[in-house]
């Protein structure tokens, strides 16, 4: 049983909290590039319990691309909000007395102060990088880790779009524990809510699950008996990418089977202790369409509830949201009664505690590389089991050498489908849970 103290340790995300200090060692989306435009270059945001503003700087003389900054919302002078300030090619200026800060937080101007005073002032500021149209922020100590270029974020040989769902009114750990809880698929996403996943394939629940820790998190493997006695089992694998993402693949493309695979990465961003924002980056490989990294993909906003707060229960992500939110703003894990089907959740909590302790002792947590690493591909090792292994990239000399073309690790994940019925099973999904 989880104690109240342990629950606090795993869930709280503010500055100085155990989980908050761990999560600050990773990059998190804080906004989209379309949230800050030339016409409206400032947006107030919140991340890991901190009130911030993200802003878009006009290109400097001679440059063509904008830059981005992220600073604490309240000005260091007398705490007025920078969300109402103005931006030029150098930085953001406070609307109250005109103090101006660059993206690193350095004070550039103080119109009513002697020239030397500005050197004593530093506005809290965090690095920002853009990838797949999302603005990622890093809020931890130096050295700054590389921004992971997961395949759905970085591939260009196909169509990419981003789905932004309604703000989830619960703690970040509830959505992430769902990622290693495969037994909920049969029940939560079954015919009761018009999803029709596994319950159309089998009359009673018969799945087997395995959870395999690997370099980037936990691989979840689901094995389902064939529909008929002579049919081979169906095997589905997809990983939890530590600490806040789920990598998924389905053969559904926009609500119908189109013959291709839709890859997605679901990033669950801890806004504060009781709110989570989900960004879903979708990618469909194509021989004709391209998604250049220097072009922002299209975005769509998906509400999960109606105006009265009722969930759209025909949407898989709304079904998930219902299950997460109704546990409470922060689930009281002291009241749980875990069983054999919760092995993945137990593994994830142990992993989270382990990584929190590593950070507490001054170490580096998993999957937060500070130096360039090999682009690796995960490929099937044995078709009968769908195991994955690393494959050496021919462009590098070893698994520890560097692919300098990207400056950031790229992970390609290939989902193995053992038999045809598995494809049908996933084709009915309106969304991935």
pLDDT mean for each 10 residues of the chain (433 residues): 95 98 98 96 98 93 88 98 96 97 97 96 97 97 92 92 96 96 81 54 71 92 78 82 91 53 92 98 93 94 94 91 97 94 94 98 90 43 28 28 35 36 28 40
Please state the φ and ψ torsions of residue 50, each to the nearest 5 degrees: -105, 135
- 218 contacts 347 by C-beta, under 8 angstroms: yes
Please list the alpha-helical segments (H only) found in 223-365.
316-325, 343-360
Q: Give, as one character, the DSSP assignment of residue 326.
A: T
pLDDT at 237: 80
pLDDT at 405: 33
pLDDT at 384: 25
CA–CA dist 243, 20 (Å, integer): 12
- 141 contacts 26 by C-beta, under 8 angstroms: no
pLDDT at 394: 31
The residue to which tokens 């089991």 are assigned: 385
Where are any strands of DSSP class E within 166-294? 208-214, 217-224, 234-241, 245-253, 256-272, 275-285
Q: Give, as one character, the DSSP assignment of residue 127.
A: -
352-366 burial code (b ≥16 CB/10 A, e <16): bbebbeebeeeeebb
- 224 contacts 206 by C-beta, under 8 angstroms: yes
**What does the block give as tokens for 389?**
């292994």
Q: Give the closest residue to 138 by CA, choosing from 366, 368, 361, 407.
A: 368
CA–CA dist 97, 159 (Å, integer): 46
Our measurement of the distance from residue 65's CA atom to the centroid of its chain's CA atoms, rounded to an integer in Å, reads 25
For the structural domain made of 151-427, what CATH number should be given? Answer: 3.90.380
Please state the φ and ψ torsions of residue 20, each to the nearest 5 degrees: -60, -40
- 407 contacts 293 by C-beta, under 8 angstroms: no
**What does the block give as tokens for 235?**
């095997």
pLDDT at 62: 82
CA–CA dist 88, 93 (Å, integer): 8
**What does the block give as tokens for 307?**
């105006």
- 62 contacts 74 by C-beta, under 8 angstroms: no
Number of other CB atoms surrounding residue 95 within 10 Å: 15
The residue to which tokens 């229960």 are assigned: 313
pLDDT at 393: 32
What is each CA distance from 29 to 127, 135, 299, 376, in whole angstroms?
12, 5, 14, 23
**What does the block give as tokens for 252?**
């559904």
**Model's pTM, two decimal places?**
0.85
Please list the alpha-helical segments (H only) found in 222-311.
none
CA–CA dist 396, 404 (Å, integer): 10
Does 27-138 carry CATH code 2.102.10.10?
A: yes
- 251 contacts 261 by C-beta, under 8 angstroms: yes
Q: Could you state, in order of their start, the residue ranges of all structural domains in the chain? A: 27-138, 151-427
């Amino acid at each position: 049983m989880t104690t109240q103290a342990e629950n606090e340790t795993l869930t709280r995300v503010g500055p100085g909290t155990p989980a908050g200090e761990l999560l600050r060692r990773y990059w998190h989306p804080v906004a989209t590039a379309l949230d800050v435009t030339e016409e409206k270059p400032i947006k107030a945001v919140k991340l890991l319990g901190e009130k911030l503003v993200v802003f878009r700087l006009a290109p400097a003389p001679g440059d063509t691309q904008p830059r981005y900054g992220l600073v604490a919302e309240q000005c260091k002078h007398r705490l007025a909000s920078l969300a109402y300030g103005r931006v030029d090619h150098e930085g953001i200026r406070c609307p109250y007395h005109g103090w101006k800060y660059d993206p690193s937080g350095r004070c550039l101007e103080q119109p009513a102060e002697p020239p030397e005073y500005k050197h004593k002032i530093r506005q809290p500021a965090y690095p920002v990088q853009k990838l797949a149209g999302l603005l990622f922020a890093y809020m931890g100590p130096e050295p700054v880790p590389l921004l992971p270029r997961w395949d759905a974020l970085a591939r260009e040989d196909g169509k990419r779009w981003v789905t932004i769902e309604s703000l989830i009114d619960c703690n970040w750990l509830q959505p992430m524990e769902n990622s290693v809880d495969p037994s909920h698929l049969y029940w939560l996403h079954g015919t009761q809510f018009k999803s029709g996943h596994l319950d159309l394939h089998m009359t009673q629940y018969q799945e087997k699950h395995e959870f395999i820790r690997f370099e980037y998190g936990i691989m979840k493997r689901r094995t389902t008996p064939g529909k008929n006695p002579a049919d081979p089992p169906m095997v589905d694998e997809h990983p939890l990418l530590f600490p806040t993402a789920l990598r998924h693949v389905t053969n559904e493309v926009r609500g119908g089977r189109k013959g291709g695979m839709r890859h997605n990465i679901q990033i669950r961003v801890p806004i504060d202790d009781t709110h989570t924002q989900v960004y879903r980056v979708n990618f469909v490989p194509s021989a004709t369409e391209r998604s250049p990294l220097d072009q922002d993909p299209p975005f769509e906003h998906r509400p999960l509830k109606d105006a009265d707060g009722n969930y759209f229960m025909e949407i898989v992500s709304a079904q998930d949201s219902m299950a997460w939110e109704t546990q409470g703003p922060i689930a009281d894990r002291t009241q749980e009664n875990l069983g054999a089907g919760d092995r993945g959740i137990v593994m994830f909590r142990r992993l989270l505690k382990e990584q929190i302790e590593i950070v507490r002792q001054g170490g580096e947590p998993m999957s937060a590389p500070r130096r360039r690493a090999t682009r690796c591909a995960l490929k099937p090792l044995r078709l009968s089991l769908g195991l994955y292994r690393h494959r050496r990239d021919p462009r590098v000399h070893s698994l520890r050498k560097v692919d300098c073309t990207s400056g950031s690790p790229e992970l390609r994940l290939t989902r193995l489908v053992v038999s045809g019925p598995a494809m049908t099973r996933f084709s009915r999904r309106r969304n991935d849970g």
